[in-house]
Amino acid sequence: MVDKYQGTYLSPDDFNMAINTAQRQYLSSILSESADIHQGGKRIKTGLKSDMTTSSSLTIFIKEAILTITSQLASHPNDMYDILAIRTIDDNYAVKQVSADKIPSYIGNAIDAPTLTEPIYTEIGATFKFFPSTLSSAKIVYVKTPVTAAWVPDTGTLNYNSGTSTQLEWSISDINEIIYRTLGVIGINLKDGDLIRVSQTVKNDGQ
């Protein structure tokens, strides 16, 4: 398609850069997608993290892990892309996220200070800091970072090497969307029919 629309050649490295940029854009768009809810007769926009129903596209990327808290700190999971929720280890209570500048107002609050049943946290770099200081563990639900896709050709050819390449983890319908975005990253903008026609030609010709 690059040859058809641009008359040029797309190297494996360029393809890998484009498709991984596209899948990150797609993931970001799903996470920021708004869902309508009704509250007090008004329609309110809420992002995925505020919506109890997560997109089916993200199912395979949602993980749960235990955070071990030492001196009030716990590291982010190594593969974390975004947080969906943090709860107490028994799942009975939510751990509320608080911005760093608001922490003193919570700590100094004689009536509503953080407790083991109403804990809070803030993010500091690649770590979470929890209050109260007696909280020793927590459970995090998060979206993991998709694997970095890689098209690796056989030596000296552009034939796809399935043994050394890394596949996208998304479903077929999501991969179609990522392909559109990849073409956009490259600078090719097509309508659905264009891609369908090209795909059918490839299928019929056995390419």
pLDDT per residue as tens digits for the range 109-129: 888 899 999 999 999 999 999
Average pLDDT in the chain:
82
Distance from C-alpha of 146 to C-alpha of 120, rounded to nearest angstrom: 28
Domain termination residue (choose one: 116, 144, 172):
144
The answer on 55 and 73 residing in a single domain is yes
| Rg of the chain in Å (alpha carbons) | 23
The last residue of one of the domains, among 128, 144, 160, is 144
Beta bridge partners of 143: 62, 82
* Sign of the dihedral through C-alpha 185, 187, 190, 196: negative
Q: Do 78 and 160 fall within a single domain? A: no
Say if residues 144 and 61 touch (Cβ distance below 8 Å): yes
User: Is there a domain that residue 157 lies in?
Assistant: yes
Contacts of 52 (CB under 8 A, 6+ apart): none
The answer to whether residues 69 and 14 belong to one domain is no
pTM over 0.85: no
pLDDT band at 204 (very low <50, low <70, confident <90, very high): low
**Element containing residue 82 per DSSP (H, E):** strand 80-87
Residues 134 and 153 in one domain: no
Does 38 reside within a domain? Answer: no
Q: Is the pLDDT of residue 91 over 60?
A: yes
Average pLDDT score over residue span 201-205: 49
Respond yes or no on whether the N-terminal peptide bond of residue 12 is cis (omega within 30° of 0): no
The dihedral built from the CA positions of residue 109, 115, 119 and 123, taken in this order, carries a sign that is: positive
Asked whether residue 53 is domain-assigned, the answer is: yes
Residue 169 inside a domain? The answer is yes
Boundary-marking domain end, from 99, 128, 144: 144
Q: What angle do CA 162, 164, 165 make, to 5 degrees?
A: 65
Please tell me the predicted confidence (pLDDT) of residue 156.
78
The pLDDT, as a whole number, for residue 122 is: 97
User: Residue 179 sits in which domain range?
Assistant: 2-32+147-202
Confidence bin at 205 (pLDDT 50/70/90): low
| Per-residue pLDDT at 95 | 97
Q: Which amino acid is at 201?
A: T
> How confident is residue 197, by pLDDT bands cut at 50, 70 and 90?
low
Count of the separate structural domains present in the chain: 2
Residue 203 has pLDDT above 80, yes or no: no
**Does 109 share its domain with 65?**
yes
Q: What is the pLDDT of residues 148-161, one digit of tens each?
A: 999 998 887 777 78
**Nearest residue to 154 via CA among 144, 168, 164:** 164
